[in-house]
Structure 1
């Protein structure tokens, strides 16, 4: 018996795979490229200044804030402008408006790539820089609320750029938005008024401070309120929805009012006593840094070890070397901020750091009328010679003082006991009185 095979009958409906319009919008157009451009631009800018921020959370947060706002912000603005004018340039506006969704919902889907992709680039750059900083920090925490506020500000710039691109679908709109945005943000960083804290690119470098708790959320309310008000005003088709734009606008104005009440000099930053706690070694003289730079203490102690070996036990030697805003004590000598010469947990130029320490040791402030008389020039030459003998100035740093070499040769020719005796007499003398300065 012959016959044809027929497929079995089924009553199950065929599954139709639907693709979300939001997912489609996020995958097409300039969005992914904008996110990659923001991440790459910020990372390249941060890489060029890595020694300046790879030791403290405040430093990395501050430089990320400037790089994201001043470079990522204009990029998001320009990319949003190009994305916003895409449909009019392609002549697909009527097709897009025929989609059975409300105008505001269509606008939110269309604007999503302009807002979300730059934020993704910002978050990637933030994560890379924070991970690169984490092994070298000593205390404190990353200011995640400030980084979040920066990411929201970039998203809002992307939204505003998108709306500008829709209103002015000109091919030069996008690059002009980028240029104008960069110039406007840069100008805002130079003002000294309290209004500068409204900008997303103003520099802040307060190492031993922390922000007031409300600054991050209020900054988000300020930028997000403006962007949401613009979206509602543009996308709403009824008077009732347009009136809703006043709500986020009022939130933005209230947030701006709080920020404008901040002091113009320090803004939201306040001293953090936990970061200025002294951390000292057990040497003589002692070397002390703040808890913020505790991991650098071994490197600072090692850099000053040759100098301390000569000063140890001498009357007039410093009681301690103090780096940072420590509570002053009698016998303190202020050190250079160790992070100014530190790279990834080590002092890059230990010889230069020692030289600065010796200059601080002998930096007496003379009153008017001091350092005068026939012996004044010789006293200054002896002072320069003692500094060079204790910690020679590296080549290329500082001026050459004529006449110091004979005194340096005399000091080197002395026995160790004679050198210590002379150094004790020199430390006991007042360098502002030339007649008291002992000659080697």
Structure 2
């Protein structure tokens, strides 16, 4: 039986050679660049996370913290990453081979540096998106300033490119960390200046938590930092190095504009000039419009204070929460900011202490005059009214500790003072409701007076 051997046809070769991957894609995916982005992402996320209680709940605080950390930590890290990438050919001993490549010096520079810059900016953008999403559930008013995000990303790209130039020029392995340290100092030092020069550093934008930038501020900062970076790149790698003069001129003009404008680059946020009020209580309770979502929680925390004042006359009209001193018929609401002190993620973390401070704002304790504060009787009356309006366990523990120490040390004067304080509080507590309302009405008529003799006896 004859068998026929079947031969597999030989594969035909394509007349077109296989296209090799673009060097930019190779650098983008298979080089040091992704690790630079991961380093920036990890650094900024850890730094932001460690301070989350201080910014989570306010768009302004979130972006201010993100902006400062991305400049102060991300900038030096970006410069170091660019410097390390710039010295790669020298470490691999391929600098001479690179010089014989068909592409020009500028194209070679961009192919090697842009992937690192892209990954560094991607690390920042990922952190920014995460921070804004973390704030969104707790921010009750305002909006993020989105124009600041591209400006911060451009700043990190600029530092990466400048670092790459330094890495090409400096044949020294410790150059990246040294450059990072120098960048940190260069960013931090201008913030200690009082002139407009301080605004040339992005770190100096701490007012971003309370103010909004004018529309051209992000553009000017991008022109300032980006212009310097482009000038450095062209001066190093361009065939016609005089082309670096154009971006250098743009950077100089932007720097002069920023330095001369100074604080005028920031305008007051209109929300900080308004407040929202709960008029169902007396005194009314008003919180800054920027934190209007906290109004129900503040009202609940002060409900015992306002409840004990029902029927009492001569009270302030409202608790106010605006910049500056309260009006004569107003009392200062205990501060809600900075975040992390009383407010964390939209919640009052110590309502009892907050209520006690609100009570103190109503009484003579808040009167800044030496005569009333130094008069033992008047001072005792002020403290007694405050403690009756809002009993404070922390203050009670402190009084008990003081009494134990006084007994241990045989301090009869201190023991007498503590006994008199307890007697005054017991007297106010034991009054009838009507009698206490009448006495408190007379007392609150004197809280703005510095004359201790006008304070009613208790």
Using structure 2 for the length normalisation, give the TM-score. 0.87
SS in 2 for 1:210: strand
Partner of 2:138: 136
Partner of 1:311: 309
Matched residue count: 432
Partner of 1:281: 278
- Is the Cα–Cα contact under 8 Å of residues 53 and 60 in structure 1 kept in the other structure? yes
- Is the Cα–Cα contact under 8 Å of residues 364 and 432 in structure 1 kept in the other structure? no
Q: Which residue among 164, 169, 172 is the counterpart of 2:171?
A: 169
Residue 409 (structure 1) aligned with residue 426 (structure 2): yes
SS in 1 for 2:320: strand
Moved more, 162-171 or 274-283: 274-283
> Using a 3 Å threshold, how does the CA distance of structure 1 residues 207 and 232 change in structure 2: closer, same or farther?
closer
Partner of 2:95: 93
SS in 2 for 1:292: helix
Q: Distance in 1 between matches of 2:241 and 2:121?
A: 27
- Is the Cα–Cα contact under 8 Å of residues 290 and 325 in structure 1 kept in the other structure? no
SS in 2 for 1:280: strand
- Is the Cα–Cα contact under 8 Å of residues 89 and 169 in structure 1 kept in the other structure? no
Deviations 1:240-289 (A, max 9, x none): x21211111111111111101123xx352112334533211232221112
Partner of 1:255: 254
> Using a 3 Å threshold, how does the CA distance of structure 1 residues 75 and 398 change in structure 2: closer, same or farther?
farther
Shift of 1:312: 3.0
Matches within 5 A, 1:27-426: 27-205=29-207, 207-237=209-239, 241-263=240-262, 266-284=263-281, 285-325=283-323, 331-340=329-338, 341-362=342-363, 363=365, 365=367, 370-371=371-372, 376-395=375-394, 402-403=417-418, 404-426=421-443
Structure 2 residue runs of 5 or longer lacking an equivalent are 403-416
Q: Distance in 2 between matches of 1:294 and 1:8?
A: 77
Q: Distance in 2 between matches of 1:394 and 1:230?
A: 63
- Is the Cα–Cα contact under 8 Å of residues 84 and 169 in structure 1 kept in the other structure? no
> Using a 3 Å threshold, how does the CA distance of structure 1 residues 21 and 206 change in structure 2: closer, same or farther?
closer
Moved more, 335-344 or 12-21: 12-21
Shift of 1:229: 0.6
Q: Distance in 2 between matches of 1:89 and 1:379?
A: 78
Partner of 2:414: none
Shift of 1:162: 1.1
> Using a 3 Å threshold, how does the CA distance of structure 1 residues 251 and 396 change in structure 2: closer, same or farther?
farther
Residue 439 (structure 1) aligned with residue 457 (structure 2): yes
Q: Distance in 2 between matches of 1:244 and 1:181?
A: 26
Shift of 1:291: 2.1
- Is the Cα–Cα contact under 8 Å of residues 275 and 321 in structure 2 kept in the other structure? no
Partner of 1:427: 444
Q: Distance in 1 between matches of 2:74 and 2:90?
A: 26
SS in 2 for 1:262: helix
Shift of 1:15: 6.4
- Is the Cα–Cα contact under 8 Å of residues 76 and 183 in structure 2 kept in the other structure? yes
Moved more, 115-124 or 393-402: 393-402
Deviations 1:169-213 (A, max 9, x none): 211101111112122222222222211111122241354531111
- Is the Cα–Cα contact under 8 Å of residues 188 and 201 in structure 2 kept in the other structure? no
> Using a 3 Å threshold, how does the CA distance of structure 1 residues 367 and 352 change in structure 2: closer, same or farther?
closer
